[in-house]
C-alpha cells in the first residue's frame, strides 16, 4: 500500500536512480509507489527486545507505583539518553568532537547500558541513514517504508542485524571496541545488577526495565516522527524536521533538520532558544578537558537557516548548502 504522507512521492522520485533494492531482489515486496524491498524477516537475536516489553507492565504491577520508582525511571532515562546523543550519535557516528582512547572506551560502555547494541553497529547503521536518507538504502525511512517500520520494525528485521564494519572502519580498528560490540549486552546487564543492589526491586524495575523500554521509544521517535512532522529550516534532500517537543524528549536530538543540514556539528540546537541538553553537558566535559575540538555550526550555516541576519558584505554571493561527510580524523591512542 503506498505511503500516504505528502512528501512520499517526492522522496521516491528523488531515489529512483538508486538500484540497491530493485524488483529483481529475490522475495522482494513490490509497493504501489514503484519501490521494492526485501520482505522483513524477524531474527531471534531481538527476543530480549520483546521480553523487555512483555514483562515491563507485570513487573511494574508487582512492585507497585511510587514516586521513588518514577524518580528512578525519569533519572535513568535522561542520564542514558545523554549517552545515546553524545556517544552513539555525535561521537561515533559523526565525529563531532574528540576524546582519548580510554575515555572513548568508557563512554562506549556507558552508552551500551541503553541496550541499543554495540557502538559500532549503531554508528554504522546511522551513517547509512545519512548516506541514503529517505531513499532506498536508508535503514529506517518512514517516507519509504512507513511509520512503524521506521520506528521499530527495522530493528527486529534480520537485514539490520549484522554490523556493517565497512561503514565504521575508523573505529573498527580498535580491538576493545570490536570486543564490546560483540558482547554489547554486558554493560546493560552490569547496570541491571547495580540497580538491584543499590535500590532493590523498585530501582531494578522502574530504573532499569521500564526506563529502558521508554528510552528505546524515545530514541526511535527521531527515526520515525521527525521525518514526518515538524519545521524545516533547511532545504535538505530528505524530509528531516525540527521539533521542540522531541528535542526535550531526546536531550536535543529533535533539531533534526538542523542536524541533517550540518551533520558534523556537535550542537544540534543552533541558537540559544533551541534546547539541547546534550550539548550543554558536552560543553562542561570540554571545560573539564574530557573532550576537545567540539564542532559548532558556522555563521554561514546560521545565515542560511535564518537564525542570524547577514551583514551587507555577506549578501554579495548566495550561501551554498553545506554537506559535510564523516571526517576520517584519527583518534589518539592514549587518553
Helices (H), the chain: 8-14, 47-63, 67-83, 101-111, 119-131, 142-145, 147-148, 169-172, 175-182, 186-202, 211-224, 244-249, 256-261, 277-287, 299-304
Provide block-wise average pLDDT over 10 residues at a time, the chain (335 residues).
41 34 32 49 74 94 96 98 98 98 98 97 98 96 95 90 95 98 97 98 98 98 97 97 98 98 98 98 98 96 94 64 49 45
d(CA 141, CA 129): 8
Q: What are phi and psi of 258, to 5 degrees?
A: -55, -50
pLDDT of 20: 35
Q: Are 185 and 48 in contact (CB under 8 A)?
A: yes
Domain residue ranges in the chain: 46-315
List residues bridging with 29 in a β-sheet. 37
Which DSSP symbol is given to 89?
A: I
- Cα dihedral 74, 80, 82, 86, rounded to 10, equals -170
pLDDT of 40: 58
pLDDT of 164: 95
pLDDT of 152: 93
For 129, counting Cβ atoms within 10 Å of its Cβ (0-12 exposed, 13-18 middle, 19+ buried), the class is: buried
pLDDT of 41: 63
pLDDT of 196: 98
d(CA 328, CA 170): 7
d(CA 151, CA 158): 15
d(CA 52, CA 312): 57
d(CA 308, CA 301): 9
Amino acid at each position: 500500500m503506498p505511503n500516504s504522507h505528502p512528501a512520499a512521492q517526492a522522496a521516491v522520485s528523488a531515489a529512483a536512480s538508486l538500484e540497491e533494492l530493485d524488483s529483481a531482489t529475490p522475495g522482494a515486496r513490490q509497493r504501489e509507489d514503484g519501490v521494492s524491498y526485501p520482505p522483513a524477516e524477524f531474527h531471534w537475536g531481538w527476543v530480549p527486545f520483546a521480553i523487555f516489553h512483555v514483562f515491563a507492565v507485570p513487573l511494574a504491577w508487582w512492585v507497585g507505583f511510587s514516586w521513588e520508582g518514577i524518580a528512578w525511571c525519569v533519572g535513568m532515562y535522561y542520564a542514558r539518553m545523554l549517552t545515546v546523543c553524545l556517544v552513539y550519535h555525535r561521537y561515533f557516528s559523526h565525529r563531532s568532537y574528540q576524546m582519548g582512547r580510554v575515555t572513548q572506551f568508557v563512554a562506549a560502555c556507558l552508552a551500551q547500558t541503553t541496550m541499543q547494541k554495540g557502538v559500532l553497529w549503531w554508528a554504522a547503521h546511522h551513517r547509512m541513514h545519512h548516506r541514503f536518507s529517505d531513499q532506498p538504502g536508508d535503514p529506517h525511512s518512514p517516507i519509504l517504508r512507513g511509520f512503524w517500520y521506521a520506528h521499530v520494525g527495522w530493528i527486529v528485521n534480520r537485514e539490520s542485524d549484522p554490523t556493517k564494519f565497512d561503514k565504521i572502519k575508523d573505529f573498527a580498528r580498535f580491538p576493545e571496541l570490536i570486543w564490546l560490540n560483540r558482547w554489547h549486552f554486558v554493560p546493560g546487564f552490569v547496570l541491571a545488577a547495580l540497580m538491584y543492589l543499590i535500590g532493590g526491586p523498585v530501582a531494578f524495575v522502574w530504573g532499569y526495565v521500564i526506563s529502558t523500554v521508554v528510552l528505546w521509544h524515545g530514541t526511535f521517535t527521531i527515526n520515525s516522527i521527525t521525518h514526518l512532522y515538524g519545521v524545516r529550516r533547511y532545504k535538505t534532500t530528505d524530509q528531516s524536521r525540527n521539533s521542540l517537543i522531541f528535542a526535550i524528549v531526546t536531550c536535543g536530538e529533535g533539531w533534526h533538520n538542523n542536524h541533517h543540514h550540518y551533520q558534523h556539528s556537535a550542537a544540534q540546537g543552533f541558537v540559544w532558544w533551541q534546547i539541547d541538553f546534550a550539548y550543554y553537558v558536552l560543553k562542561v566535559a570540554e571545560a573539564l578537558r574530557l573532550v576537545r575540538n567540539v564542532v559548532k555550526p558556522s555563521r554561514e550555516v546560521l545565515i542560511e537557516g535564518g537564525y542570524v541576519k547577514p551583514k551587507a558584505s555577506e549578501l554579495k554571493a548566495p550561501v551554498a548548502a553545506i554537506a559535510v561527510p564523516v571526517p576520517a580524523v584519527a583518534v589518539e591512542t592514549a587518553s
